[in-house]
């Protein structure tokens, strides 16, 4: 078997370095973000580790793809840096979307939730806050708001109206 430079396929040293550097940066960033969640009890240590490993892998592959794409196009300088950032961002978004779909469809919702415990958990809490407020509000009127509809349509004034009806207004006159 002979070595043919024209048909040989290999990963360039710059691409390999970008993959390793991206993996280290992505993993460290995810681990740093998850330390507080583990301390607060929002996430287990196993979930935090899986999240950091997944983030390291996807960030490494995305940064390597960006460098490989710009190397193949022979683009350098500022345009090359912008191109690397654009390709890496697109690749990272695509990998995260595909991995979330695969994990959810494969019945591994807990693993997907562990990874998405950051931004999506915060979003879910913000969406479910009106539903929790509707459940906690005293039922002074005959009309009860269903929690599913309260999550879709935010009505922050609903608990105040219920509280106002429960306590009649009194005026102090001298």
* Digit-coded pLDDT (tens) for 8-65: 567 888 999 999 999 999 999 999 999 999 999 988 888 899 889 999 999 999 999 9
Residue 142 pLDDT greater than 60, yes or no:
no
pTM assigned to the model: 0.58
SS (H, E, C) the chain: CCCCCCCCCCCCHHHHHHHHHHHHHHHHHHHHHHHHHHHCCCCCHHHHHHHHHHHHHHHHHHHHHHHHHHHHHCCCHHHHHHHHHHHHHHHHHHHHHHHHHHHHHCCCHHHHHHHCCCHHHHHHHHHHHHHHHHHHCCCCCCCCCCHHHHHHCCCCCHHHHHHHHHCCCCCCCC
Residue 91 pLDDT greater than 70, yes or no:
yes
């Amino acid at each position: 078997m002979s070595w043919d430079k024209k048909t040989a396929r290999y990963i360039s040293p710059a691409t390999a370095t970008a993959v390793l550097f991206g993996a280290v940066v992505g993993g460290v960033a995810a681990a740093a973000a998850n330390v507080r969640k583990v301390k607060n009890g929002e996430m287990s240590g196993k979930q935090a580790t899986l999240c950091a490993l997944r983030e390291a892998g996807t960030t490494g592959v995305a940064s390597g793809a960006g460098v490989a794409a710009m190397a193949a196009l022979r683009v350098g300088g500022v345009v090359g840096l912008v191109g690397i950032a654009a390709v890496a961002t697109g690749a990272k978004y695509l990998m995260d979307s595909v991995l979330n779909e695969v994990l959810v469809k494969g019945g591994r919702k807990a693993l997907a939730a562990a990874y998405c415990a950051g931004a999506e958990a915060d979003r879910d809490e913000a969406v479910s806050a009106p539903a929790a407020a509707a459940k906690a509000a005293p039922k002074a009127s005959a009309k009860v708001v269903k929690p599913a509809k309260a999550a879709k349509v935010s009505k922050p004034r609903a608990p105040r109206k219920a509280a106002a009806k429960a306590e009649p207004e009194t005026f102090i006159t001298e």
